[in-house]
Amino acid sequence: MVRPARILLPETPLHLIQRGNNRGACFVHRKDGLKYLELLDELRRECGVDIHAYVLMTNHVHLLATPCDAPEGISQMMKELGQSYAQYFNRRHQRTGGLFEGRYRSCLVAEEPYLFACYRYIELNPVRAGMVEHPADYRWSSYRANARGAHDPLVHPHGVYEELAASPTRRQQRYRELFRGELSDAMLDEIRQQTRSGRPLGSEAFQARIKHALGSDPSANFGV
What is the domain partition of the chain in residue ranges?
A: 7-203
- Specify the 3-state DSSP secondary structure of 192: helix
- The helix-helix angle for 168-178 and 114-123 (nearest 10°) equals 80
- H helices of the chain, in order, are 30-47, 73-93, 114-123, 125-128, 143-148, 159-162, 168-178, 185-197, 204-216
pLDDT per residue over 24-60, tens digit each?
Answer: 999 999 999 999 999 999 999 999 999 999 999 999 9
Give mean pLDDT, residues 9-30. 93
Nearest in space to 49 (alpha carbons), one of 26, 4, 80: 80
The band of 224, judged by pLDDT with boundaries at 50, 70 and 90, is very low
Q: Which of 26-30, 97-101, 117-121, 171-175 has the lowest mean pLDDT?
A: 97-101
Q: Judge whether 86 and 104 are in contact, CB under 8 Å.
A: no
State the pLDDT confidence band at 223, using cuts at 50, 70 and 90.
very low
Which pLDDT score, from 0 to 100, does residue 160 have? 95
pTM comes to 0.91
Domain 7-203 matching CATH 3.30.70.1290: the answer reads: yes
